[in-house]
A and B are shown apart, each in its own frame.
Chain A
Amino acid sequence: MNDAHLPVERLSIILGEVKEVRVTQKGPRRTRLDVAADALPALLELLKGRAGFVHLSAISCVDWPDDAQFELVYHLWSYELNLLVSAHTRIDRDPGVYVSVYDIYHPAGFFERDIHEMYGVFFEGAPDMEKFILTEWDGPPPMRKEFDSEGWVNDHFDWQDYRPDWLLELEAQGGGVMIPPDEQRFSRRGIEDNDDAG
Chain B
Amino acid sequence: MTDTEQFPVRVEQPDRNGGNIFSRVFDELTAFCRSRSLFILHYCTGCGAIELPPAMTSRFDMERLGISPMVSPRQADILLITGYVSVKTLKRVMLTYEQMGSPKYVIGICSCTVNGGMYWQSYATAKKLNDYMPVDLYIAGCMPRPEAVITGLRQLMDKIAAGEANGWEDYYRRYDYYLGHQQRLFGETWQTPTDVIAEARHYGLFGPETLGDHTRLLEQHQAPLEALEMQLGLGAPDEVKA
Enumerate chain A interface residues (CB-CB to B < 8 A).
134-136, 139, 142, 147, 149-150, 152-153, 156-160, 162, 181, 185
Residues of B within 8 A of A158 (CB): 127-128, 131, 181
Distance (Å) between the CB of A142 and the closest chain B CB? 5
Distance (Å) between the CB of B163 and the closest chain A CB? 19
Q: Give which listed residue, B114, B126, B186, contacts A157 with CB less than 8 A.
A: B126
**CB-based contact A142/B123 at 8 Å:** yes
Q: Which residues of B from 100 to 157 have beta carbons under 8 Å from A?
A: 114-116, 120-124, 126-128, 131
Question: What's the tally of chain B residues with a CB closer than 8 Å to chain A?
Answer: 19
In the complex, 17 of the A-B residue pairs with CB atoms within 8 angstroms, ordered by the A residue number, are A136-B88, A147-B123, A149-B123, A153-B116, A153-B120, A153-B123, A153-B127, A156-B184, A157-B128, A157-B131, A158-B128, A159-B115, A160-B115, A160-B128, A162-B115, A181-B120, A185-B120
Residues of B within 8 A of A135 (CB): 88
Residues of B within 8 A of A150 (CB): 121
**CB-based contact B123/A160 at 8 Å:** no
Distance (Å) between the CB of A191 and the closest chain B CB? 12
**CB-based contact A149/B127 at 8 Å:** no
- In the complex the two chains form, what is the Cα distance from A18 to B226 in whole Å? 59
- In the complex the two chains form, what is the Cα distance from A80 to B184 in whole Å? 54
**CB-based contact B115/A153 at 8 Å:** no
A147's nearest neighbour on chain B, judged by CB, is B123
Distance (Å) between the CB of A155 and the closest chain B CB? 9
Residues of A within 8 A of B186 (CB): 136
Distance (Å) between the CB of B131 and the closest chain A CB? 6
A contact patch SS:
loop
Judge if B185 is at the interface, Cβ distance under 8 Å.
Answer: yes
Judge if B55 is at the interface, Cβ distance under 8 Å.
Answer: no
Judge if B87 is at the interface, Cβ distance under 8 Å.
Answer: yes
Residues of B within 8 A of A156 (CB): 123, 184-185
Residues of A within 8 A of B131 (CB): 157-158
**CB-based contact B128/A149 at 8 Å:** no
- In the complex the two chains form, what is the Cα distance from A162 to B88 in whole Å? 26
Enumerate chain B interface residues (CB-CB to A < 8 A).
87-88, 91, 114-116, 120-124, 126-128, 131, 181, 184-186
Distance (Å) between the CB of B125 and the closest chain A CB? 9
**CB-based contact A139/B115 at 8 Å:** no
A150's nearest neighbour on chain B, judged by CB, is B121
Residues of B within 8 A of A139 (CB): 123
- In the complex the two chains form, what is the Cα distance from A78 to B14 in whole Å? 75
Distance (Å) between the CB of B83 and the closest chain A CB? 16
- In the complex the two chains form, what is the Cα distance from A150 to B88 in whole Å? 19
A187's nearest neighbour on chain B, judged by CB, is B121
Q: Give which listed residue, A134, A142, A159, contacts B128 with CB less than 8 A.
A: A159
Q: Give which listed residue, B88, B122, B181, contacts A149 with CB less than 8 A.
A: B122
Q: Give which listed residue, A152, A162, A185, contacts B123 with CB less than 8 A.
A: A152
- In the complex the two chains form, what is the Cα distance from A162 to B140 in whole Å? 13
Q: Give which listed residue, A136, A153, A160, contacts B114 with CB less than 8 A.
A: A160
Residues of A within 8 A of B123 (CB): 139, 142, 147, 149, 152-153, 156
Distance (Å) between the CB of A166 and the closest chain B CB? 12
**CB-based contact A149/B121 at 8 Å:** yes
Distance (Å) between the CB of B94 and the closest chain A CB? 13
A148's nearest neighbour on chain B, judged by CB, is B123
A135's nearest neighbour on chain B, judged by CB, is B88
Distance (Å) between the CB of B115 and the closest chain A CB? 4
Residues of A within 8 A of B114 (CB): 160
- In the complex the two chains form, what is the Cα distance from A136 to B181 in whole Å? 17
Smallest CB-CB A-B distances: 7 pairs = A160-B115, A157-B127, A152-B123, A149-B123, A150-B121, A160-B128, A142-B123
Residues of B within 8 A of A160 (CB): 114-115, 127-128
